[in-house]
């Protein structure tokens, strides 16, 4: 207790009260601590969604049969495709795809029902607009899934005569491999869980750096730093007083954002929530260290924003928070280990979705502690040098 009293002496407590009063008077800074991160987290969680639905589907039905109509109905009732229009020829369908009016096209041949009734294999053609390769690949998977499910109902309808004959053949000893996938930790394949847990760290890091740099630059532009130097407070006490209030307020943001994950997106909390909150506090310290470091190298808010433009986008892109690290080139994947957001994303996802504990996540905590210590040490030294 005596150590705390010695550290939080009357001079330091007065400086901290002064910083809280300044933040309270600056309404724009107070609002930017809560409102933008909350809006960004909610928007990113709903907008950055890898699942695709209601793809515009154009159809060319040359068969005009009951089976072709049933297949088209299955395509549109799945929720993946939405029937936009029917066309008289494949050429008209291709032109509509080229003009961007459609996302996918389905061409049913003339002998479609005849081949099914005779037990012969038949083919349908699915045309996909591959301007967006990711959408085209997902659309292909949706189409294949719908056709496979529709094919399972054909033996019951008696269309494949050869299916009836197979049952009368003598049983062979040839084995069959069947696949039964099991989706662990996210059985419903909810993509929002991956997005919001990754966006969590990005928002903490970016908002921590921007708010801390803006606060220190405003202090310098107003000329109050020179006034603080005239007080009996030491440079270390001035630096701690500048950082501590922002850290406390940003930790409140960590708690509020974690609540949004549960309330809005229903992310399961299978692990210890205090591990997530402590990891968020370390991520906030890293963001404050980056922001303070930026503030020591710039003289105005415009310069700070320009310098942050060259730091924050690479941090978010190389974090694995929005896209998997495994999708990056092999030579780039080790670079992500030098990113604090990468380690915090691992902590959040492993703790909340998998229920992992400190016995598994301690390397990521050590990395965050190391990054926070290094960034704060460099920024504090630079700041003290400027005060000197």
- SS3 per residue for the chain: CHHHHHHCCHHHHHHHHHHHHHHHHCHHHHHHHHHHHHHHHHHHHHHCCCCCCCEEEEEEECCCCHHHHHHHHHHHHCCCEEEEEECCCHHHHHHHHHCCCCCEEEEECCCHHHHHHCCCCCCCEEEECCCCHHHHHHHHHHHHHHHHHHHHCHHHHCCCHHHHHHCCCCCCCCCCCCCCCCCCCCCCCCHHHHHHHHHHHHHHHHHHHHHHHHHHHHHHHHCHHHHHHCCCCCHHHHHHHHHHHHHHHHHHHHHHHHHHHHHCCCCCCCCCHHHHHHHHHHHHHHHHHHHHHHHHHCCCHHHHHHHHHCCHHHHHHCCCCCCCHHHCCCCCHHHHHHCHHHHHHHHHHHHHHHCCCHHHHHHHHHHHHHHHHHHHHHHHHHHHHHHC
Does residue 163 form part of some domain?
no
Does residue 162 form part of some domain?
no
91 in the same domain as 227 = no
70 in the same domain as 28 = no
Does residue 177 form part of some domain?
no
Q: What is the pTM of this model?
A: 0.77
Q: 205-254, pLDDT tens digit by residue?
A: 988 888 888 877 877 777 666 666 666 666 677 777 788 888 988 888 89
Categorize the per-residue pLDDT at 90 as very low, low, confident or very high, splitting at 50, 70 and 90.
confident
Categorize the per-residue pLDDT at 342 as very low, low, confident or very high, splitting at 50, 70 and 90.
very high
236 in the same domain as 205 = yes
286 in the same domain as 340 = yes
Q: 96-125, pLDDT tens digit by residue?
A: 888 888 888 889 888 888 888 877 778 888
The whole-number pLDDT of residue 368 equals 95
Name which residue leads in pLDDT, 78 or 71. 71
Does residue 165 form part of some domain?
no
Domain that holds residue 114: 55-153
The whole-number pLDDT of residue 340 equals 94
229 in the same domain as 280 = yes
364 in the same domain as 260 = yes
The whole-number pLDDT of residue 45 equals 78
Categorize the per-residue pLDDT at 364 as very low, low, confident or very high, splitting at 50, 70 and 90.
very high
- Least reliable range by pLDDT among 301-315, 326-340, 345-359: 301-315
373 in the same domain as 266 = yes
Categorize the per-residue pLDDT at 160 as very low, low, confident or very high, splitting at 50, 70 and 90.
very low
Q: What is the mean pLDDT of the chain?
A: 80
């Amino acid at each position: 207790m005596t150590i705390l009293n010695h550290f939080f002496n009357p001079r330091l407590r007065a400086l901290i009260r002064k910083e809280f009063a300044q933040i309270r008077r600056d309404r724009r800074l107070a609002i930017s601590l809560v409102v933008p991160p909350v809006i960004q987290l909610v928007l990113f969680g709903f907008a950055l969604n890898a699942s695709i639905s209601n793809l515009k589907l154009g159809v060319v039905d040359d068969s005009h049969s009951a089976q072709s109509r049933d297949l088209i109905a299955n395509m549109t009732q799945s929720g993946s495709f939405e029937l936009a229009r029917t066309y008289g020829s494949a050429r008209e369908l291709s032109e509509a795809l080229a003009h961007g009016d459609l996302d996918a096209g389905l061409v049913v041949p003339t002998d479609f029902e005849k081949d099914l009734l005779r037990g012969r294999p038949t083919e349908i053609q699915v045309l996909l607009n591959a301007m967006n390769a990711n959408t085209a690949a997902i659309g292909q998977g949706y189409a294949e899934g719908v056709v496979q499910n529709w094919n399972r109902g054909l033996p019951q309808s008696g269309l494949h005569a050869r299916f009836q004959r197979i049952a009368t053949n003598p049983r062979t000893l040839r084995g069959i491999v069947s696949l039964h996938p099991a989706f662990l930790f996210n059985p419903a394949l909810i993509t929002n869980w991956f997005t919001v847990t990754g966006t969590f760290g990005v928002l903490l890091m970016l908002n921590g750096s921007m708010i801390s740099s803006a606060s220190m630059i405003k202090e310098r532009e107003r000329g109050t730093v020179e006034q603080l130097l005239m007080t009996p407070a030491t440079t270390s006490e001035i630096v701690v007083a500048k950082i501590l209030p922002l850290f406390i307020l940003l930790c409140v943001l960590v708690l509020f954002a974690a609540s949004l994950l549960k309330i809005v997106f229903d992310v399961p909390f299978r692990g210890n929530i205090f591990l997530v909150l402590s990891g968020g506090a370390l991520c906030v310290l890293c963001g404050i260290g980056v922001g303070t470091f930026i503030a020591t190298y710039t003289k105005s808010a415009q310069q700070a924003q320009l310098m942050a433009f060259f730091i924050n986008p690479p941090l978010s892109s190389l974090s694995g928070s929005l896209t998997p690290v495994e999708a990056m080139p092999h030579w780039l994947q080790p670079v992500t280990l030098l990113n604090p957001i990468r380690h915090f994303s691992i902590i959040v996802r492993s703790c909340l979705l998998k229920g992992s504990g400190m016995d598994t996540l301690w390397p990521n905590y050590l990395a965050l502690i190391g990054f926070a210590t290094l960034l704060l040490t460099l920024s504090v030294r630079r700041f003290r040098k400027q005060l000197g």
